[in-house]
Amino acid sequence: MKVLVTELMWDDGIEELKYNGYSVDYDMELGRKRSELLELVPAYDALIVRNETKVDAELLDAAKNTRVIGRLGVGLDNIDLEAAKARNMPVIPAVHANATSVAEYVMASMLDAYRPLAEADADVRKGNWDRKFFTGYELNGKTLGLVGMGEIAHRVAKRANAFGMDVIGYDPFVKPFDHILTETGVHPVGTLDELLTNSDFVSIHVPMTKATRHMINKDNFKYMKHHAYVINSARGGIIHEQDLVEAVQSGEIAGAYLDVLETEPVQKGSPLSKVESIQLSPHIAGLTDESQSRTAMLIAKEVMKVLEGGKSLCSVV
C-alpha cells in the first residue's frame, strides 16, 4: 500500500511505515503545490498532512482510493471534516503528541516577558551594566488565565502551579469533575471578560471555529490589566490582530507572544512586525525534536492500523 506525505514529517515515522512494508512518497512542499497534489493523490491509500495542505471536498473527491488521512498535529481547521465523514474517511490527528512542547512554549513566553535575558545579554555586550533597567518580575503570585481548558491547558497549569502562579480558566464545555479542575486546581470563571480582568497573563487554548474567531478583540482588551500579556499558541485569527496592535501601542496591555497568525508566514510590512512588545515566532510552539518524533510515530502507527482493517482511537471522523 502507498502513503503520500505532503508536509514535514520526522524520519522515524517515515521509516516506521517503510519497515512495515508501506511505500512512502514524501514531498514536504507538496501541500503548497495544489495542482500537482490533485493529480497525484488518486494513487495513494493514505494521505498524511500537516496544517498547510488544504484537505477540502475537491481534494477528497480526487483521493478516490484514499482510506485514511493522518494529521501531523492537532489543529483540524485545514480539513473539511464533514466532507471526510460523508466519504467515510477517518481523520487522525496526533492527539496530545505535542502538548508538552506547547506547554513549555507558554512558560518560556511568560519567563521571557518578565526576565528578558536576550535583551540583557545584548545590552551588556554593548558595554552597559544596567541592573536597575533589567530588574524583572517573579511569576510567583501572578495570575495566569487559560482560555480553553483541554489537555494542553492542563499541562500549562501544572507547570504554572510549580512556579507558584494562581491559575484561572474559562471554558463553557468543561465540567466540574474534569481533571483540570479536580487534579490541577484551576479555578473556573464564568465569563471570558472575568478571566481577562483578573489575569496577568492570558494563554489561548481553543480551536479555530466560527465562535472563536476574533474572540479576543478591542471590546475585551479594555478589561485587561495594563501590564498584562496575551499568548497565542493555538490558531491565528482567535485574536483580532489589528485590535491587538492598537491595544499594545496605546498601552492598554503590555504586549503579546504570537506563535500563530491569521496569514502565515507574516506578511511584509505587517503592523505586527513593527511593534517590539509583540513577539512573533513561526508556528513552532508544538515543534521540538521530541514532539516531532512522537507525532510522526503516532500518525504512522495509527494510519497503518486503519489500513490493516482496524480502527484508531484517535480518529475524529
* CA atoms of 257 and 243, how far apart (whole Å): 15
> Choosing from 36, 119, 264, 290, which is the catalytic residue?
264
> Choosing from 71, 96, 235, 294, which is the catalytic residue?
235
Catalytic-residue membership of 87: no
Non-local CB neighbours of 229 within 8 Å, separated by 6+ positions: 109, 110, 113, 200, 201, 202, 253, 254, 255, 256, 257
- Core vs surface per residue 203-218: b (16+ CB within 10 A) or e: bbbbebeeebeebbbe
Non-local CB neighbours of 10 within 8 Å, separated by 6+ positions: 292, 293, 295, 296, 297
> Choosing from 71, 283, 294, 302, which is the catalytic residue?
283
Of the candidates 144, 142, 221, 148, the one whose C-alpha atom is nearest the C-alpha of residue 178 is: 148
* CA atoms of 263 and 159, how far apart (whole Å): 30
Catalytic-residue membership of 290: no
Q: Across the strands, what pairs with 3?
A: 24, 46
Say if residues 87 and 271 touch (Cβ distance below 8 Å): no
Catalytic-residue membership of 159: no
Q: Could you tell me the three cell numbers for 215?
A: 474572540
Q: Which residues are catalytic?
A: 235, 264, 283
